[in-house]
Structures are given as C-alpha cells and as structure tokens.
Chains A and B, each alone.
Chain A
Amino acid sequence: MDLRESPEDVAFRGEVREFVATHLPPEIRERVLGFRRVPREDYVTWQRILHQRGWGAPGWPREFGGTGWTARQRSIFEEECYTGGAPRQMPFGLSMVAPVIMKFGTPAQREHYLPRILDFRDWWCQGYSEPGAGSDLASLKTRAERRGDVYVLNGQKTWTSFAHYANMIFCLVRTRAEGKPQQGISFLLIDMKTPGLRVRPIKTLDQGADVNEVFLDDVEVPVANLVGEEDRGWTIAKYLLGHERTNIAGIGMCKRLLSRLKALAAGETRRGRPLLEDPRFREKVARIEIQVLSHEWSLMRVISLEQAGRDVSTEASMLKIRGSEIQQHLGALLMECAGPHALHYSPEWLETGHGEEMPGGAHLAGLAAQYFDLRKVAIYGGTNEVQRNIIARAVVGL
C-alpha cells in the first residue's frame, strides 16, 4: 500500500491545471463557474482544444486515438477540468457509444464513427428511457421491424439529454416481442435527420431544457447501423453500464461545487461578517468538506481496486449514491449563500450574462436554478433506490 500520490501523477495534475488555465477561453470559464447556460459551441470548442492537445478521449486506448491514461490519471484530469471551469466532456459519444462501437462494432463502423466522436463532428445522444421504461429499462416498447435493408422504427424515447444539440442518437429498440423482455432488444445507430424523427424539449425545474422527448414515426434505419447481433442489445446495454463505472462518482462536480461554496461563503457577508465566519454556516461547510474528502478517497480506493482486477460494481453504486447526495447538498448550501437574493430569477441573465441588474450581484443569479437542477442527479443513471437494491443484493446476498 502506498498512499502518496506518485510524483508522475503530481506532475500530471500540474500539467493539466496549467493547460486548463491557459487554454480554456475565459468567457466559457465564466459561464461554467457562474452556473449559467452553456451553449453548444462551448462544448464543441473545448472538445476541439482538448483533441488538438491529444487529450480528446481520456478513456480510450491509444490505438483509437485515446490517451491511454490510467484510471487515476483520468480522475485527476476530470477534477482539474471541473475545478478549472471547463464544460464537461459530453459522455454520450466519448464514453458511451464509442466503447460499444470499439467492442461490438464492425470495422466499417469503427472507422466511420470513432474519429467523428473524437473531434466532435458528431454529437451523440442516448435513446434509452421511454415513458413506460425508466428504472425498468428492459420493458421498453419502441418497435423496430426489419423490412429488407432497413429497420422501421415506431415509438418514443424520453429524458434524452441534449437531443436538441445532437446529430446522432444510439437507441435500444425492440426487435422481437416474444420471450423475456431482455431477449428481444437491439442496439441501433441513428442519424437524427432521418425523416420521421422529431425532438421536443422538456422544460425542467431550472427553466432550462437540456432534456427532450424523441418521437420515432416510421423512421427507416439501415440494417448496417445495427451494432452487434440482432436481439442481443441487452448485453451491449449492460456492457455500456459497466464501462468506466467510476465516472459516476461525479468527483469533478463535487470539487467544483465545494470550491465555489468556500469562495462564495468567504465573500458574502451577514451582519457585516463573512458568511464563512458564522459558526453555524462554517460548521455546514466543514461537514460537507469532510464528505467530499471521504468521497474522493473512496473513489481513489475503488479505482486502485479496479486496476488490480477486482469487480467494483457494488462500490460503483455506492459512489453514485454518495456523489449525488453530496452534489445535492452542496447545491443547497450554495443557494443558502445567496440568502434572499436566491429568489431573483433572470432567464436572460442565465442565457447571456447580461440584462437586468441582479440584486446581490450577478454571481448569485444561477444558484437557485442550480439547486433545482441538481435534484436530477439522484434520479438519472439508475435512481439511488435502484443503486441501494444493487448494494443490498451484494451485501445481504438474497
């Protein structure tokens, strides 16, 4: 056991920090750290900057243009990007569909799609959930009927993050109705411009619309866009779920929120004193910082076990629960920092950073929206209750 960060990793952290500080456009950093809306171009710009540096795909093997980094390096990279104010690297292409294409795709699919993911020519979204299939994903109903060289799709997907930005979607569809629900599912790659595919935004609590409904009416998808075998898509879905499990910990976001919290609490005043010097608030900050510390060390420990070849799926569920709870808690404390000013709400400011003067200061304007938006983290990626079921199965063994 060696619990010191290796000199290589210390140097690597410095290198990433320096790169983010010097290469991330300041206006993007300002939007991200101000919890304002981040437009599509910001994500693309940052991904291309990373790609140019050779850091476009932290999780990919070198042969496909990835970095070949260790899990610890990837986690350091994520932390530094988040705390440095970079937009997150969209996972749908890089860490969801790409590993699937690498493992199950044809050589033609790999050659076509992987480079386009790396430089963000393609923005992918994920067509999994349906109105009747949330936590119980295998009950999905979107039908794909084979007619010659195409599948004809009918059905509806929902909670599709960034479908309005995406030009490609990967979908789980039902190719066979008989048998166990898991047995008749296939994995398809679909061009969003295909006739019959329609996107409708869903407005969420923060008044944003990052998620969408995707309607599929007689959408024709070439059979060449099937990944793996027909009816065997559930295996792929499970593989995808098991890939880079430790990403789910959200450590970068936890650290970003914590450093924002400490900075804001030092700057905001109550009764003429910095909020951070109020014993009650300081205690709350201390409490949450301890939780972030334990989350960070748990993540490092799980990564180390994973590298040693241990199955860490139960631990990943624990990281998901803790990461989401901590983010929600931090979101609440950030909102408390704003005090009564959290009540003000300006969509215009969130979009542009301009407009009406925000009472208490513009830096407080996004905090309530952020709090509300963070309710989602305990719901997506398998609700925390589903994660507890998984943990209990491993612990109780029934």
Chain B
Amino acid sequence: MDFTYTDEQSMLAEAVGRWLDADYDFARRRRLAAGEESWQSNWSQYADLGLLGLNVPEAHGGMGATSIEALIVMQALGRALAVEPYLQNALVAAPLLARAGTNTQCEAWLAPLASGDKRVVVAAYEPGGGYDLEHVETRATAMGDDFALNGRKSLVIGADGADALLVSARTSGNAGDPAGISLFLVPTASFGVTLEVAPTIDGQRAAEISLRDVTVPAAALVGAVGRGFEELELAIDRGTAGLCAEAVGVMEKLLEMTAEHLRTRKQFGQPIGAFQALQHRAADMAIAIEQARSMALLAAARIDDPDRRERRRAVSAAKTMIGQSGRHVGEQAVHLHGGMGMTDDLAVGWYFKRLVAIDLTHGDADHHLEQFGALL
C-alpha cells in the first residue's frame, strides 16, 4: 500500500489548488452563492482543467482517471467551498452514463459533458422517501415505443440549467422495491418537466421537479428496463465518496482558520490558544480530521470494488463517520471563534453549514449506520 501521491496526482492537486487559490476567495464564493455572479462562468475553468471528464473514459474525451483523482479534486473544492454542482455532473451523472448508457448515448453526451458544453444531473430522491433510492413512486408507463413519466423528484442539486436529467422511474413493482426501477435520460426542456428552484442553507440551489406525462422514446432508457437500481446505487455511492473527500477539505480549512484565531485572538492578556481547555478542543478537531481523511480514502479505495458488499460497507462506514465528525468539527470551529463565529460575515459559519449539508446529502450518519449495521 502506498498513500503518497504519484507525480501526476501531485500535479493535479497543485493545478486545482492554484486555480482556486487565485480565483476563488470567500468574497467571490459569497457572490456566487448569492446569485450575484453566475457560477456558470467557472464551468469552463473546470473543463479546461479536465475536471468535468475526470471519470469519463478517454475514448469519450475524458481523463479516465480513478477515484483517487476524484478524491484529490473534491478535497480541493472543499477547501475553497466551491459552490458549483461539480460532483453531481462530473462524478455522479457522467460515470453513470459512461457505464450504463448505450453507445449512441455515450457518443452524444460524454464528450459535451467533458467539455462543459452540456450538463446532466441525476434526479433520484422523492418526497417522503428519505435517503432511500429504492423509494421510487415515479412511474414510467410504456406507450408503444415511448414511455410516459409521471411523478416528483426532490432536492436535485444543479438541475436548473442542466440539459438533461437522469431520472429513476418505476416500470414495475412498488415503492421500496429495488427491482423494477429504470433510468431515463430526460431533456430538461421536455414538455411536462417543471422545476421549482430554491436555495439550500449552504448556498447551493436545489430543484423540486415534477414530471407530468413526460414522453420520452425507448432510446432514452439508460440500462435495461427494470434493472436500473444497481447502477444508480453505484453512482450515488460514487457521489457519497466524493462528498466524504470534500468534507475533508472543508474540515482542514476550518481547523486552519480556527488555529489562526486561537493564535491571534487575545483575552486575559494572552492568546486564547494558550488555554488548555481550548487546546484540547482543537486537538480533538485534528483527530477527527485525520480519521475523516482515512475514511475518505477507504471509500475511494473501495468504490470500484466488484464486490458490492465491500463497496457498500466502506462507503457507509465513511459517511457515518464523516457525517458525525464533520458536524463535530464545524460546531467546535464556531464555538472556538466565540461570538464572531456566529456571524454571517465570517467564512467559518459557511464552512460549518457545508459540513452539515454534506451530512444531510446521500444519507446522513444514522442512515449509513443502519446500512453498515445490516452488513456487519
């Protein structure tokens, strides 16, 4: 085993870090999150660095990189608190399409995804379904050579402005059955697709999507009829592993800001970092981050494991721990900043919110603890 970066991996980390350091300070992030500046302007940067096709095969214009490169990129984006729906497009939807899509679909979509000319996100969760991907009530009814889709999708990050949605819909069975779920590539502009977009607490934009007699041809099917669940689950696992890596970057930055504050803020005639009660909180943050780092690596190492159980155990273990420790680190950071930590002005609160959002995305700590417990 070797946990050190290869030269290429170091170069990737440096290139992404350099761009974010130069272009992505907190003031800019704030404008992007508030919608005062369009994040789409950054999308070409992602494309130029090759990040949009990171996990897309080289034959389709991508980099064909592994989950380790994805981890490196996500960690860097976490440090910068990047607000673009990068994960949803490049690490969830594109690899899903590359694996399960037909040749025609791959040829039509993967190169434009990698170049940033098109965007696709997965619409999987439904109102009332919690984090369960098999809770699919949306129906896809065969009508001759077409399918008609009816139902609702919830909290789809990055859906507004996307060219198409990868929608999970039921072709047989009942909500809760993994079998009978099919995946469809649905152009967002299709008749009957309605998006209601609202901000999230951490500065992203999420859509509630309603599908009303949305007609797509059979050619829109991604994978076999009724057999979409496995690929969907893998894609979301890949996204979850990416979130874990992002959380490590967010936590690292929080600890750095907190340590800086402990060194410079003076009370009772000395830096507050001289007080042991505060030192030990900082030490516990550092320990939590080291563990999170290890778990993000474990998830990345197992994401392409052909053994589904091994993959799921690793992803759920990582997300359980990072969901909890991320919140812990965020809470400590705000607390150690004192009253200033409560203000909207400071970056600390936004990093904290991102960690909470990460916990609440693709399964929180409780959800994944349950999943892991079933695979003991």
Contact = CB atoms under 8 A, between A and B. Distances in A.
Interface of A: 1-6, 9, 72, 262, 276, 282-283, 285-287, 289-291, 293-295, 297-298, 300-301, 304-305, 308, 314-315, 318, 321-322, 385, 387-389, 391-392, 394-398
Interface string B261-304: 01100000001011010011011111100110111011011000
Contacts of A6: 1
Interface string B5-21: 11001000000000000
B369 interface: yes
Interface string B230-255: 00000000000000000000000001
A286 B255 CA distance: 28
B317 interface: yes
Given A297-B294, A397-B259, A304 B1 contact: yes
A3 B297 contact: yes
B229 interface: no
A290 B283 contact: no
A388 B283 CA distance: 6
Contacts of B1: 2-6, 9, 72, 300, 304
Contacts of B286: 314, 318, 391, 394-395
A308 B372 CA distance: 33
A291 B298 CA distance: 12
Nearest to A398: B273
B3 to A, nearest CB: 4
Contacts, number: 124
Nearest to A325: B287
B2 interface: yes
A71 to B, nearest CB: 11
Given A1-B6, A262-B376, A285-B376, A301 B297 contact: yes
- Chain B residues touching A, majority SS: helix
Given A285-B373, A388-B283, A398-B271, 14 more contacts: A3-B300, A9-B1, A72-B1, A262-B376, A283-B373, A286-B372, A289-B372, A290-B317, A300-B1, A300-B3, A301-B294, A391-B283, A392-B279, A392-B283
A1 B3 contact: yes
Contacts of B301: 3-4
B4 interface: yes
Interface of B: 1-6, 9, 68, 255, 259, 262-263, 271, 273-274, 276, 279-280, 282-287, 290-291, 293-295, 297-298, 300-301, 317, 320-321, 369-370, 372-373, 376
Given A318-B286, A398-B273, A308 B295 contact: no
B376 A298 contact: no
B316 to A, nearest CB: 8
Contacts of A300: 1, 3, 294
B274 A398 contact: yes
Nearest to A9: B1
B305 to A, nearest CB: 10
Contact of B294 (A5, A282, A294, A394): A294
A186 B255 CA distance: 40
B287 A391 contact: yes
B298 A1 contact: no
16 contacts: A1-B6, A4-B1, A276-B376, A285-B376, A286-B369, A293-B298, A300-B1, A300-B294, A388-B280, A389-B276, A392-B273, A392-B276, A396-B259, A396-B282, A397-B263, A398-B263
B373 A282 contact: yes
Contact of A283 (B263, B282, B294, B369): B369
A68 to B, nearest CB: 19
Given A1-B68, A3-B297, A301 B3 contact: yes
A321 B320 CA distance: 20
A282 B371 CA distance: 12
A290 B322 CA distance: 11
A304 B301 CA distance: 15
A317 to B, nearest CB: 8
Given A285-B376, A298-B290, A388-B284, A2 B2 contact: yes
B345 to A, nearest CB: 23
Which of A291, A391, A392 has the largest count of B CB atoms less than 10 A from its CB? A392
Nearest to A385: B280
Instruction: Give the 8 A-B CB pairs with smallest separation, nearest first.
Output: A392-B279, A3-B301, A286-B373, A297-B294, A304-B3, A391-B283, A388-B283, A298-B294
Contacts of A297: 294-295, 297-298
Which of A291, A388, A397 has the largest count of B CB atoms less than 10 A from its CB? A388
Contacts of A388: 279-280, 283-284
B43 to A, nearest CB: 28
Given A3-B1, A398-B271, A290 B282 contact: no
A290 B373 CA distance: 10
B2 A304 contact: yes
Contacts of B68: 1, 3
A315 B294 CA distance: 12
Contacts of B370: 283
Contacts of B4: 1, 304-305, 308
B170 to A, nearest CB: 29
Nearest to A2: B2
Contacts of A2: 1-2
A261 to B, nearest CB: 11
A353 B262 CA distance: 55
Contacts of B293: 298, 301
Contacts of B274: 398
A162 B9 CA distance: 49
B259 A321 contact: no
Given A397-B259, A398-B273, A298 B283 contact: no
